[in-house]
Amino acid sequence: MAYDFSRIKNRGEEIKEWFKKECAVLRTGRATPTIVENLQVDSYGAKVPLKQIASIGIEDARTIRITPWDTSALKNIEHAVAVSNLGAQPISDKESVRVRLPELTEERRKSLVKILNEKLEEAKISLRQERDEIWKNIQEKERDNEISEDDKYKFKDDLQEIIEKTVKNLEETADRKRVEISN
């Protein structure tokens, strides 16, 4: 008798992908397009991600250049960057917006690590919730005599192994980001 763990495995992959995206958004002092690509910008009466209305390039280690496909969006892009929590002032010229990222202060680094830890905890909570649902399902199957008590405990061990492997991966991702933030 085997239990189908594909649901928890798929959910684990989704959580890992979500966490990686959340980590990518945390600014570490180096310019990358992921810092700004999902900023919501007013465009023709709707809020859209910046990456849908402009090309995003890197000028140097701390400067991002945003070039909208329609220059009438410059003011809205500038506003979206200004109100974001990047801590950077946008500089606009006739056809693009430059975003110069400031050096990270020790206080900002600590704040970023705190945010990272909160995101990690969110991911772990989601994973635990999924684990609890599957464990309930396994217990119901045992109560309904679909599986034996031995199978129930074997499945519980298998489930825990999947959870531990996923948590280890999340922790490794967080550790890499902590090092990146610290440097």
Q: pLDDT tens for residues 47-64?
A: 999 999 999 999 887 889
In the predicted structure, residue 29 carries a pLDDT above the cut 70 = no
- Pairing status of strand 40-43 against strand 46-49: antiparallel
Q: Which amino acid would we find at residue 24?
A: A
- Report yes or no on whether pTM surpasses 0.85: no
Quote the CA–CA distance of 173 and 167 in Å, as a whole number: 10
Which residues make beta-bridge pairs with 98? 65, 91
Residue 60 token pair = 């140097």
Per-residue pLDDT of 56-105, as tens digits, reads 999 887 889 999 999 888 999 998 888 887 777 888 888 999 988 877 78
Tens of pLDDT, residue by residue over 161-172, are: 999 999 999 999
Residues 127-152: tens digit of each pLDDT: 999 999 999 999 999 999 999 999 99
What pLDDT shows up at residue 82? 87
Tell me the domains of the chain and their CATH numbers.
6-24+105-182 (1.10.132.20), 30-100 (3.30.1360.40)
Query: How many CB atoms sit inside 10 A of residue 176's CB?
Result: 11
Higher pLDDT, residue 160 or 84: 160
The pairs formed by 104-113 with CB atoms below 8 angstroms and a separation of 24 or more are: 104/27, 104/28, 104/29, 104/181, 109/181, 109/182, 112/26, 112/27, 112/28, 112/181, 113/178, 113/181, 113/182
